[in-house]
Amino acid sequence: MAEASANFQYSTPLGISTTPIPGVLVLNLTVHADNRGWFKENWQRAKMLQLGMPDFKPVQNNISFNKEIGVTRGIHAEPWDKFISVATGRVFGAWVDLREGPTFGTVFTRIIDPNIAVYVPHSVGNAYQTLEPETAYTYLVNAHWSPRAKYTFLNLADETVGIQWPIPLSDAILSEKDKGHPRLADVKPLVPKRKRVLVTGSGGQLGRALLDQLPQADFDVVGVDLKELNIADPTQVAAFDWSSIDIIINAAAWTNVDGAESPEGRPAAWAANATGPANLARAAAEHDLTLVHVSSEYTFDGTKAPHTESEPPSPLGVYGQSKAGGDAAVAACPKHFLVRTSWVVGDGHNFVRTMAGLAANSGRPHVVDDQIGRLTFTPDLAAGIIHLLTTHQRWGTYNLSNEGDPMSWAEVARNVYELTGHDPQAVTPVRTAEYFAHKDAAPRPLDSTLDLSKIEATGYHPVEAKTRLQEYLKAMKGHA
């Protein structure tokens, strides 16, 4: 039998890390000690949510007291989420993914002492073995226990998952019921509940990409445009049935940068880009939904590139001002991702398609060469948003564009000409002041480059813009 030990860490910073089982998270808790003993915040919602912990809303706290070393319980997959820790003692914890999908049967093990907590989502099998006498195993759950609840079980000795128990099961203390659970081959994989996503602006370039990718990532998706839901109308937003929605992705926006400067365009831009997001933020807060809002590098004046997530807004024109207003409203929503992007290219009208059309018709465009930035292709933008949602990242702002060296609009145009088999010298570079002389045009940031280090630190690495540009043009040619 293992000997008792209390060699856990004191005063370690609160932290969170992922595991091989999607959604299973390990939390390092801060334990404060003195000559009287120790104290810890075992569950601290505000701090843990900031680190990326799901807001799973526990409703019941259970404690299992285990008198002896070697008490072994499980493997049980339950119809609720759990937050596991120990009040006293130490256990060896084991978790097996019993959900349908590519990670079915994946195992994760970890010793839990008072320094450690583990978040276990619905339908992941969990078990533990006590390593010290008089261990108090405690767990929060987000549904009340019911004798009618349906469990799924896996045998503790299953050879396929091959858990290496510190105390052999032949020497451990098990219930007869746990001894009789089925092997993995006889376990029917559990179908996890799919989260439902509402995509506003679903007919736009990003909206189309989201509607294509979200179902592949196991989300149920509903798309709406202005005719189904005018997000700028607070009455419509308040009357919308949010009961079956878990996540809102706001891809709706007024994107006519020059038109926003007109007497008619100014209120329209503010309605779509500021009032609409504010209404969605209010609904998300009231109904405990996650809100993903897509913003723009036009919230900056272009003088401090590469622009970081912490840079304060400094918009030059009405479009950028309206986007900054929407950003401020979204930031007040408790569960939000504000995704800032630039130079979007997707299925629809955009600069790349315009240049490809001019090239095909022997056009000789004048294109500005003193505005630089990175293209963002909607499949990568959609994939990045899904990454934030599925990997439980911390709420807040994330820059997201394609990677690579920044280019000017003129460089992009010349690349389009060259990749489509036309003379890149047909593109004449001009300065912004020259191009917009005698035109009613909005001011534009000269450097739109976004710093991508924050999202790349989460494990998402966008493909280089030049690679995507080549693929995009090749696909255009294939559909011509």
Mention every residue, 6+ apart, whose C-beta is less than 8 A from residue 148. Answer: none
Do 290 and 250 touch, CB atoms closer than 8 A? no
User: What's the half-sphere exposure (Cβ side, CA atoms, 13 Å) at 189?
Assistant: 12
Is 76 annotated as catalytic? yes
Exactly one of 139, 398, 417, 460 is catalytic; which is it?
139
Token pair belonging to 292: 């993903």
Rounded CA-CA distance 372/169 in Å is 64
Do 214 and 384 touch, CB atoms closer than 8 A? no
Cα distances (angstroms) measured from residue 224 to each of 211, 229, 230, 370 = 11, 6, 9, 37
DSSP assignment letter at 272: I
Rounded CA-CA distance 15/113 in Å is 15
Rounded CA-CA distance 162/144 in Å is 32
Do 129 and 172 touch, CB atoms closer than 8 A? yes
DSSP assignment letter at 246: -
Question: Among all chains, which residue has been given the structure tokens 């001011």?
Answer: 443
Residue from 194, 393, 208 nearest 292 by CA: 393
Phi, psi dihedrals of residue 300, rounded to the nearest 5°: -115, 160
Q: What is the largest CA-CA distance in the chain?
A: 88
Question: Interior CA angle at 113 toward 112 and 114, to 5°?
Answer: 125
Do 244 and 196 touch, CB atoms closer than 8 A? yes
Is 181 annotated as catalytic? no
Residues serving a catalytic function are 76, 139
